[in-house]
Homo-oligomer: A and B are copies of this chain.
Amino acid sequence: MAVTMLPDADTFIVLVSFTVPAERRDELVQTIRTFVEEEVRHRPGFVSSTVHTSQDGTRVINYAQWESREAFEAFQSDADAMSRRGVITEFQRDGRPYTIAFQATATA
């Protein structure tokens, strides 16, 4: 399934940005990957998660899409699932819901 960014979609978007020491970057990415694949992906309303690493090695950004705010919040409030985040919680992170304001492409 291709992940798309559509201005008119009513997808609920959450971006989480981590600041990470470069030497722990791979550990953080692998932990997020395990958590997403074993926990998040199977939740009702989950759409996608695309994890980006900055080329300088100091930032990791998870661009996540959910069907609705309610679906996301139901997951967030599951303390049992949240407890399995492992080292993810050790890193400075800034997570917020976002809305697409506009989009431009080369052709339109």
Contacts and interface: CB of A to CB of B under 8 A. Distances in A.
Interface of A: 1-7, 13, 15, 17, 29, 33, 36-37, 40-41, 46-56, 59-61, 63, 96-108
Given A2-B6, A5-B5, A52-B13, A41 B96 contact: no
B15 A61 contact: yes
Contact of A102 (B6, B29, B40, B98): B29
Given A2-B4, A2-B6, A55 B99 contact: yes
A55 B97 contact: yes
A54 B48 CA distance: 19
Contact of A29 (B52, B59, B60, B101): B101
